Structure 1
Amino acid sequence: MENLDRPVPAGQPTNFRYYDLVMAAFVTILLLSNLIGASKPSYVVLPGIGEWSFGAGVLFFPVSYIIGDILTESYGYARARRVIWTGFAALLFMAFMAWVVVQLPPAEGWPGQDAYEFVFGNSWRIVIASMVAFWAGEFANSFVLAKMKVWTQGRYLWMRTIGSTVVGQGLDSLIVYPLAFYGLAGWPIELLWQVVLSQWLIKTAWEALLTPVTYAVVGALKRAEGTEIFDTDTDFSPFATSQQRTK
């Protein structure tokens, strides 16, 4: 096991104790956020402004970005890339199975089909928007964090996690709501852009507020795994299969 004082290149094979558990947590939060709160707009009343709308999924979807930060910081971009693709495949499977179940004819006398279709029968437009936004946002988040870690020589974790979230969550919010809901009844353009802005600001605020938690988890994982990974020779293509670029 490597000592923390000796950085490990991102491509060096290492047996990790908790990598699979962090991956499971990431995928679980990702699926729940898309299943429970993705398409419901809610609101808060702000003094001097009135009702301000936001997407309900923002209450816990940012946790997946925090876990993504923890993955990249603790295990490197290449291993975070594997987790992002795993989450993408899980989202695709969930969307397909939701479509299959909604299409099945309900048993005679069952009164819940309309409600079931309303909750789980998202159009493929919404599904595609969610998946594209997730893919783009997560890879941008992981890329920025990994690059900033090299630039700062592993210092200023708070700056790296918040900075990567500003980019990743901004890209995610800018893609998902316009792509999914633009032009639909019940989504006037004012509401749409208000939700986009709200998502971006709230997600970034969540990241900032939970920075102490991120520090604690990252510190515990690095001590447990005994590594400090820098992506100095990593191939940052989302489609790369190797963990280290060949010089």
Structure 2
Amino acid sequence: MGETNAKSVAVRPSKAIFAAAGSPYFSAVLALMGAVVILSNIGASKGVSIGPFITDGGFFLFPLAYILGDVISEVYGLKAARRSIYITFALAFFAVFAFWIMIQLPAAEFYDGQEALERTLGPIWQIVVASGLGFLVGQMANSWVLVRMKQRFGERGLIGRLISSSGVGEFLDTLIFCAIAAPVIGITDMPNFINYVVVGFVYKTAVEIIFVPITSLVIRWFKKREPSYVALLTAQ
């Protein structure tokens, strides 16, 4: 009966509603977002060339962070989105500190990977600064646009706000990230820098657009299972 009522309410225009962020579902998405950002920062220390396209080793992971950000913004609202961004931002810098300690610890006589460890994880702090600032600005813009559109249109227009917010967020994120990270991975001339920015923005935005149907299904899954969301829908 409750599910039927929720469906009947969801099909007509309604005000923006958001679930409480204290549920296990929110915690799971937040943990996954933190893992994705840390792993993509490690991958981003490697410059990658695929045919004429220049990118980095974290290119296949980072769009997932924005998809998870969309889920949090749509289901839990701007306040929860900001909290998740701040926590993820802090976790990324904690990872850098942990990597620095690992590098500084004296290597055992039998260990022959110190140079490789320093080369791989040594530049991570610069990547994290680039990624962190880009992520902070891009995700904030992404969440703000998505939530403001939801406040205007209610439950309607989910696909439209997912695409619009992704475009704004990914552009700002990519521009800031590439401007700082490019010299770290060896990109020093303007043509390759422009290639790096354009490829990154187009790729990340395209991935999010391609995954919009799946993101929409995931969001609807969360909305149906968050008791506070269902209660608010039913109450309208």
Q: Percent identity?
A: 35
Q: How many Å apart are 1:182 and its aligned residue? A: 3.9
Aligned residues of 1:136 and 1:171 also touching (Cα < 8 A): yes
Over the aligned positions, Cα root-mean-square deviation in angstroms equals: 2.6
TM-score using structure 1 length: 0.81
Distance 2:139 2:225 in 1: 25
Aligned residues of 1:77 and 1:143 also touching (Cα < 8 A): yes
Distance 1:117 1:14 in 2: 39
Please say if 1:23 is aligned against 2:30.
Answer: yes
Paired amino acid for 1:73: E
Paired amino acid for 1:24: A
Aligned residues of 2:174 and 2:200 also touching (Cα < 8 A): yes
3-state SS of paired residue (1:106): coil
Quickly say closer, same or farther: Cα 1:186–1:73, change in 2 above 3 A. Answer: closer
Distance 1:63 1:122 in 2: 23
Distance 1:109 1:120 in 2: 20
3-state SS of paired residue (2:161): helix
TM-score using structure 2 length: 0.84
3-state SS of paired residue (1:43): strand
- What corresponds to 2:45 in structure 1? 39
Distance 1:121 1:17 in 2: 35
Aligned residues of 1:17 and 1:225 also touching (Cα < 8 A): no
Distance 2:189 2:111 in 1: 34
- What corresponds to 2:178 in structure 1? 177
Distance 2:15 2:24 in 1: 18
Distance 1:44 1:145 in 2: 33
Distance 1:218 1:147 in 2: 17
Paired amino acid for 1:217: V
Figure out how many residues of one structure are paired with residues of the other and give that number: 223
Aligned residues of 1:129 and 1:179 also touching (Cα < 8 A): yes
- Structure 2 gaps of 5+ residues are none
- What corresponds to 2:197 in structure 1? 196
Aligned residues of 2:15 and 2:155 also touching (Cα < 8 A): no
Matches within 5 A, 1:50-65: 51-65=52-66
Distance 2:40 2:184 in 1: 24
Distance 1:118 1:44 in 2: 22
Paired amino acid for 1:53: I
- What corresponds to 2:210 in structure 1? 209
